[in-house]
Amino acid sequence: MPFSSLGLSAALLRAVAAKAWLAPTAIQQAVLAPALQGCDLLASAQTGSGKTAAFALPLLQQFEAAVPQSPRRLRALVLVPTRELSTQVGEEIRSLGQHLPRALKVAIVFGGVSINPQMLRLRGGADIMVATPGRLLDLLDHNALTLSGVATLVLDEADRLLDLGFAEELTRILARLPQQRQNLFFSATFPPAVQTLAKTLLHEPVRIEVAPEPQTQPDIEQRVIEVDAGQRTQLLRHLIAQNHWSRVLVFVATKHAAEMVADKLRKARINAEPFHGELSQGKRTQVLADFKASRLKVVIATDVAARGLDIAQLPVVVNFDLPRSALDYIHRIGRTGRAGERGVALSFVSASSDAHWRLIEKRQGLGLVREQVAGFEAIKLNPAPGSDATTTLPGTGGIKGLRPSKKDKLRAAAARGQ
């Protein structure tokens, strides 16, 4: 089915042709018709499925058909969980709207940077805004914009928004939106919190679930290597040198681990930088730019990079620390093997993470053969009976649901003092 059969305007078809998109993806084909008809949507699709264009094209067509206003009134609001995703989505909307008959103004706003330049750019209004919830509320508190003219609300990665604790912010934002509007919810999963929000806000929504197509499955070789926790950095250095990897994205559990591993790699003369939520936005932007341009070999990241980042031709992802949930495992490894490229995803498993890896394997239906690398063989993988196999080394962040409670820590401290 060609894009021309979906009712898009000539300007949008021209933008699609400029991107050399021959036909809509499954999620685009399913979403475009009901979205253009003004229906509420509750949709899910895998990363890299073309989801952004699925909601961006209807927003742009609605903008094209609307009566021009002076000053501009915000017509569409897209809420996203991270700074990087806000930039990625905003730039995609701008790109698709470049051939519209009248100029489109897309505002991209996020926290971690000064609010003043963003307020200045909002003078004269905006047509479409892509925002993280916290910064949007800051702008509303400064009376830098109004939401009274919003006709369409998009929640991109709704599950992630709620996972990151934005429920209270979402409630405050929703209270300031018009009651009559179109709502488009996109979520990789539908946990109870997302279902409750959908039932509250959506009116007779069209439910769309697009299963991955066999021919579009990413080509990712998944491997698991047994290694003692204290040998992981040395093993990482060895693998980078042995395989001549040009770029590697390494996932760790905490900001401290990101800084520590990056520092050790730099001391070994490997060009590496940490990437986590406590870095300034300027630093994060620079790290990503250097990584995409291959000026940087290794990025050590927390899960702030697990979703939303599109890094072309990234050959390798390494789970230095295992993700806290089985779903995050899929999002992490999905940073490689994109756009038809082949990728490799390595996971390090030690005694402290063995049980959690088994859980990830079970939930993802994996049965990977465990490897050992000569010179880095695990000697502590099988804890003695009765030992606490879920204890983690400092900086690993623990396993979700299995970390010691405050009482456990107090008992352990008391035992050590005896």
Domain carrying residue 51: 3-209
Kindly state whether residue 412 falls inside one of the protein's structural domains. Answer: no
**Strands 219-226 and 152-156, how do they pair?**
unpaired
Q: Give the per-residue pLDDT at 390.
A: 37
| pLDDT above 70 coverage of the chain, percent | 86
What mean pLDDT is predicted for residues 1-7?
84
HSE on the CB side for 179, CA within 13 Å?
0
Residue 277: pLDDT band with limits 50, 70, 90: confident
Q: Give the per-residue pLDDT at 223.
A: 94
What mean pLDDT is predicted for residues 84-90?
90
**Strands 248-251 and 316-319, how do they pair?**
parallel
Distance CA 107, CA 115 (A): 13
Kindly state whether residue 80 falls inside one of the protein's structural domains. Answer: yes
| Cα–Cα nearest to 88, from 45, 137, 117, 53 | 53
Kindly state whether residue 84 falls inside one of the protein's structural domains. Answer: yes
Question: Looking at the structure, do residues 167 and 88 belong to the same domain, yes or no?
Answer: yes
Q: Could you tell me which residue, 367 or 130, shows the higher pLDDT?
A: 130
Q: Give the per-residue pLDDT at 261.
A: 96
Q: Could you tell me which residue, 411 or 361, shows the higher pLDDT?
A: 361
Q: Could you tell me which residue, 409 or 165, shows the higher pLDDT?
A: 165
Distance CA 317, CA 306 (A): 10
Kindly state whether residue 399 falls inside one of the protein's structural domains. Answer: yes
Q: Give the per-residue pLDDT at 217.
A: 58
Per-residue pLDDT at 392 exceeds 50? no
CATH code of the domain containing 79: 3.40.50.300
Q: How far is CA 97 from the centre of its chain?
A: 24
Distance CA 137, CA 84 (A): 18
Per-residue pLDDT at 284 exceeds 60? yes
**Average pLDDT in the chain:** 85
pLDDT tens for 168-211 read 899 999 999 999 999 999 987 788 888 888 888 898 999 998 86
Kindly state whether residue 411 falls inside one of the protein's structural domains. Answer: no
Q: Give the per-residue pLDDT at 303.
A: 84
DSSP H or E stretch at residue 284: helix 281-292
Supply 62's token pair: 């609605």
> For the chain, how many residues are written?
418
Hey, is 219 helix, strand or coil? strand
Please count the structural domains in the chain. Answer: 2
Supply 363's token pair: 């939930």
Q: Give the per-residue pLDDT at 395.
A: 39
| Cα–Cα nearest to 172, from 205, 138, 143, 198 | 138
Residue at 82: amino acid letter: T
Kindly state whether residue 417 falls inside one of the protein's structural domains. Answer: no
| Cα–Cα nearest to 205, from 371, 355, 39, 367 | 39
Distance CA 242, CA 233 (A): 14
Question: Looking at the structure, do residues 201 and 226 belong to the same domain, yes or no?
Answer: no
Q: Give the per-residue pLDDT at 70.
A: 77
Q: Give the per-residue pLDDT at 11.
A: 94
Residue at a domain's end among 175, 209, 243: 209
